[in-house]
Amino acid sequence: MLEFDYIIIGGGSGGCTVASRLSEDPNISVCLLEAGGEGKNAVIRMPAGVAAILPTPILNWHYKPIKQKGINGRQGYQPRGKTLGGSSAINAMLYLRGNQADYDEWRDLGNPGWGWKEVLPFFKKSEANSRGGDRLHGGDGPLSVVDPIAPHKISGAFIDAARENQIPLNTDFNGKSQEGIGLYQVTQKNGERCSAAAAYIHPHMDRPNLVVITNTMVEKIVFIDGRATGVRFKTKGRPTKIFKCTHEVVLAAGAFNTPQLLKLSGIGPEDELRTHGIEVVVDAPEVGENLQDHIDYTAAYKSLKKDTFGLSFKVTGDIIKGIFDWRNKRHGKLTTTFAEAGAFVKSSPDINRPDLQYHFVVGIVDDHNRKLHLGHGYSCHVCVLRPKSRGNVRL
Residue 388: what pLDDT?
92
> Which helix (DSSP H) or strand (DSSP E) does residue 143 occupy?
strand 143-145
pLDDT band per the 50, 70, 90 thresholds, residue 313: low
Average pLDDT over residues 317-346: 87
Contact 141, 20 (CB under 8 A): no
Average pLDDT over residues 1-30: 97
Residues 72-92 as b/e (b if ≥16 CB within 10 A, e otherwise) read eeeebeebbbbbbbbbbbbbb
Residue 372: what pLDDT?
84
Q: pLDDT tens digit string along 260-275?
A: 999 999 999 999 999 9
pLDDT band per the 50, 70, 90 thresholds, residue 89: very high
Contact 60, 139 (CB under 8 A): no
Contact 369, 54 (CB under 8 A): yes
Average pLDDT over residues 342-360: 96
Q: For residue 256, is pLDDT > 80?
A: yes
pLDDT band per the 50, 70, 90 thresholds, residue 234: very high
Q: For residue 373, is pLDDT > 90?
A: no
Q: Give which of 209, 204, 216 is closest to 31, Cα–Cα.
A: 209
pLDDT band per the 50, 70, 90 thresholds, residue 105: very high
Residue 312: what pLDDT?
75
pLDDT band per the 50, 70, 90 thresholds, residue 315: confident
> Checking DSSP bridges between strand 240-251 and strand 3-9, what pairing results, if any?
parallel
Contact 345, 359 (CB under 8 A): no
Pick the range with the lowest mean pLDDT from 76-90, 185-199, 211-225, 297-311: 297-311
Report H helices in 87-164.
Answer: 100-108, 116-126, 153-164
Torsion angle (degrees, nearest 10) of CA 83, 87, 91, 95:
-120
Give residues with Cβ within 8 angstroms of 13, minimum separation 6. 85, 86, 87, 88, 196
The rounded distance, in Å, linking the Cα atoms of 174 and 239 is: 47
Mean pLDDT of the chain: 94
β-bridge mates for residue 240, sequence order: 234
Q: Give which of 186, 175, 183, 87 is closest to 143, Cα–Cα.
A: 186
Q: Give which of 192, 247, 240 is closest to 42, Cα–Cα.
A: 192
The rounded distance, in Å, linking the Cα atoms of 121 and 319 is: 40
Amino acid of residue 329: K
Q: pLDDT tens digit string along 54-64?
A: 998 989 999 99
Q: How far is CA 288 from CA 65, 291, 360, in A?
A: 14, 7, 33
Give 355-361's long-range contacts (Cβ < 8 A, gap of 24+).
355/384, 355/385, 355/386, 356/382, 356/383, 356/384, 356/385, 357/381, 357/382, 357/383, 357/385, 358/181, 358/382, 358/383, 359/92, 359/94, 359/383, 360/155, 360/158
> Checking DSSP bridges between strand 127-129 and strand 143-145, what pairing results, if any?
parallel
Contact 269, 279 (CB under 8 A): no
Share of the chain above pLDDT 70, in %: 99
Contact 14, 36 (CB under 8 A): no
Helices (H) and strands (E) in the chain, counts: 10, 18
Whole-model pTM: value is 0.94
Average pLDDT over residues 327-338: 87
Average pLDDT over residues 245-269: 97
The rounded distance, in Å, linking the Cα atoms of 238 and 257 is: 22
Q: pLDDT tens digit string along 125-177?
A: 999 999 999 999 999 999 999 999 999 999 999 999 999 999 999 999 999 99
pLDDT band per the 50, 70, 90 thresholds, residue 305: confident
| 3-state secondary structure (DSSP) of residue 335 | helix
Contact 89, 81 (CB under 8 A): yes
Higher pLDDT pick, 84 / 320: 84
| 3-state secondary structure (DSSP) of residue 320 | helix
